Amino acid sequence: MIPRINGNVQMRDGVICIPNPITIRNDFTEKAVHAFSERAAESGFQSETAENGFISIVKNEVLEKEAYVLSIRKEGIRVEASGEQGVIWALTTLQKKIGQNGSVQAETVTDAPRAVHRGLHLDVARHFFDAGEVKRIIEQMSLAKMNVLHWHLSDDQGWRIESKRFPKLHETSADYYTQEEIRDVAAYAGERGVEVIPEIDMPGHTRGILAAYPEYSCSGKKTGLAKAGGVYRRILCAGADKTYKFLEELLDEICPLFPSERFHIGGDEAPKAEWKSCPACGAKMKEQGITSYEDLQGYFSVQIAEILKKHGKRPILWNDSLESRIRPKDMQMQYWSVDYNKPSAEYIAQGGQWIYSDMFELYLDYPHAMTSVKKMYENQIDLGSCAYDAKNSPLGYEACVWTEQITTVEELEKRIFPRMYVAAELAWCGAGDYEEFEDRLRDEMKETEKRGISITPYKDWNPEGQKRQQEASAFMAAMHAKPSDEEKGEVAESSEMGEDFQKKLLSRFFQEEGKCEAFY
Ligand code: ACM
Ligand code: ZN
């Protein structure tokens, strides 16, 4: 089973047969047992509520937020937890332990995660994946006890949320989720213990917005959706008051779709070229006494954070945002790039909350040649003591899937599986012996395949030698392909960096194997 129990398993005598129907007494809301009942039904077991249920689910306020105790005895099964997520994880463990014949070993399991944030980031802007596929991935996450889907819903290549207030947004991008679908996905995730955090990346990576409403860029000139990956010069104007008014109306519409108390506002890779020649940006800096363009981005983020606060939400920002000395007070930082190393270290030293998503270790769109199963498993960071309110605390791990080069569901799933399970294990219980983990991972992938999910075959988990070099080089070349003539003037970096840059980046991937990047 993955993740491994992060506590105790006390074996008892006997094997218990699960009755059909399964009767349940539940101190929590129906939401806590909903996924269990659905999964049981798929295996032919009905479930119903009963005062003296075979499964008894009781509140134990002493337990930590997601912790649980699961006692499997002849007389019945008892689940103790302080919150709904604890119940969901207990029932997930139970379900994984029940054999084909409907029986389960008597035992008592005490379990709790080491990290409060166990996430998967999914980019649906570069390539769109429909709500059904997003739900399929959420179900796999829940079975791995992961608790955050970070849903990257806008970028230079597309905007993916139906907007009744600004309909040109979704009309321009064509593929999008209706508001009803978004609410449905968030509710489905909630029943599986998964928080859905939306990301509207800004002020950079915003051609998805500006293709529909170019008036919110510095020049106001017409632009289109980006046709390739990379970093683009066209970004939101941080000087014009109308930009903030637009974003406020937009966020007022979007925030209520998501129950999460967090909202990712991106902040990565925002080139400042357009701001430098913009009278409105210049005037805003003068008005606010801002002396650098990085700080202007900080000012922008603070304005957005104020809008989120109205909706009871706090912002998450990629670590590039720390280049600014002006920052939202209640932010969380998501660390992805060593290129912004120094401010990250200072932020962490000052007690800032952060999520670990190092691109060299946790980017699942990179091929196994660059981020193998073994490498991921062996690069474990020290999480220290974890709680949302803990000082100086990494909240946990988030694996990221960017989709510049992923166009099909099969390819998407193969990139995610099995490697999402590595992140799940690191975040729940931490790494142990690789060989032992690999055996469990192979078993887990057999079960995953039975659910119709495409997985990377075992032979390709840890490529070696020439095969590996070729696979990695081919990916890098495609990632940094030259932009079309039409797009050339729009591209700021990355796609224009050439072969030397690709080689340098590749050598970093290969060198950094087997050791965790120490940046803090
Ligand atoms: C990122 O990969 N630009 C967060
Ligand atoms: Zn401007």
CA–centroid distance, 239 to ligand 2, in Å, is 5
Q: CA-CA distance, 28 to 482, in Å (whole number)?
A: 55
Q: Which CATH number fits domain 8-111: 3.30.379.10, 1.10.10.60, 3.30.420.480, 3.90.600.10?
A: 3.30.379.10
* Higher pLDDT among residues 499 and 130, named by residue: 130
Q: How far is the CA of 349 from the centre of ligand 1 (A)?
A: 23
Cα–Cα dist 194/479, whole Å: 31
156 lines ligand 1 (CB under 6 A): no
- pLDDT at position 385 is 43
d(CA 72, CA 12): 9
Residues spanned by CATH 3.30.379.10 within the chain?
A: 8-111
- Pocket lining: 155 vs ligand 1, CB cutoff 6 Å: no
Stretch 140-166: mean pLDDT, rounded?
A: 98
Residue 201 alpha carbon to ligand 1 centre in Å = 10
Name which of 347, 200, 341 is nearest 267 in CA terms: 200
Strands, E assignment, 103-194:
103-111, 117-123, 148-155, 158-159
Q: Which of 268, 398, 494 to mutate to test the pocket of ligand 1 (most atoms within 8 A of CB)?
A: 268
Greatest C-alpha distance within the chain: 77
The ligand whose atoms approach the alpha carbon of 320 most closely is 1
The secondary structure of 412-470 as a DSSP string is HHHHHTTHHHHHHHHHHT----HHHHHHHHHHHHHHHHHTT-----GGGSS--HHHHHH
Lowest-confidence region among 1-5, 156-160, 491-495, 506-510: 491-495
Q: Are 454 and 409 in contact (CB under 8 A)?
A: yes
Residue 226's contacts (CB-CB under 8 Å, 6 or more residues apart) are 155, 156, 157, 207, 232, 487, 490
Are 317 and 265 within 8 A, CB to CB?
yes
CA of 486 to the centre of ligand 2 (A): 23
Distance CA 113, CA 454 (A): 27
pLDDT of the residue at 494: 54
If one compares 348 and 461, the residue with the highest pLDDT of the two is: 461
Q: Is the CB of 318 under 6 A from ligand 1?
A: yes
Q: Whose CA is nearest to atom 3 of ligand 1?
A: 268
The boundaries of every CATH 3.20.20.80 domain in the chain are: 117-460
DSSP 389: T
Residue from 205, 321, 334, 359 whose mutation best tests the ligand 1 pocket (most atoms within 8 A of CB): 359
In this predicted structure, the answer to whether residue 493 has a pLDDT above a threshold of 80 is no
How far, in Å, CA of 473 to CA of 84, rounded? 46
268 lines ligand 1 (CB under 6 A): yes
Q: What pLDDT does residue 241 have?
A: 98
Proximal ligand: closest to the CA of 150: 1
Q: Judge if the beta carbon of residue 404 lies within 6 A of ligand 1.
A: no
Ligand 1 touching residue 336 (CB < 6 A): yes
Residue 347's pLDDT band, with cuts at 50, 70 and 90, is confident
pLDDT of residue 99 exceeding 90, the answer is: no
Average pLDDT (363-372) is: 96
Rounded Cα distance, 150 and 200, in Å: 11
Q: Could you tell me if the CB of 269 is within 6 A of ligand 1?
A: yes
Shortest-distance Cα residue to atom 2 of ligand 1: 336
Which of 333, 337, 354, 405 to mutate to test ligand 1, by most ligand atoms within 8 A of the CB atom?
Answer: 337
Identify the pLDDT of residue 390: 45
pLDDT at 350 over 90: no
- pLDDT 10s digits, 205-221: 999 999 999 999 999 99
Q: Which three-class secondary structure state does DSSP give residue 220? A: coil
Q: How many Å from the N-terminal Cα to the C-terminal Cα in the chain?
A: 32
Query: Which atom of ligand 1 lies closest to the CA of 402?
Result: 2
* Non-local CB neighbours of 473 within 8 Å, separated by 6+ positions: 502, 506
Cβ–ligand 1 distance for 66 under 6 Å, the answer no
179-201 confidence digits (pLDDT tens): 999 999 999 999 999 999 999 99
Q: Which of 306-315, 361-370, 427-436, 493-502 has the lowest mean pLDDT?
A: 493-502
Nearest bound ligand to the CA of residue 284: 2
Predicted local confidence at residue 517, as pLDDT: 42
How does pLDDT run across 458-478, given as a tens digit for each residue? 999 999 988 898 999 899 888
Closest CA to 162 of 257, 29, 25: 257
> Tens digit of pLDDT for each residue in 32-81?
999 999 999 999 999 999 999 999 999 999 999 999 999 999 999 999 99
In ligand 1, which atom is closest to the CA atom of 363?
2
Mean pLDDT of 428-456: 97
CATH architecture, domain 117-460: Alpha-Beta Barrel (3.20)
Mean pLDDT computed over every residue of the chain: 92
> Quick check: CB of 335 below 6 Å from ligand 1?
no
Query: How many A from CA of 328 to the centre of ligand 1?
Result: 20
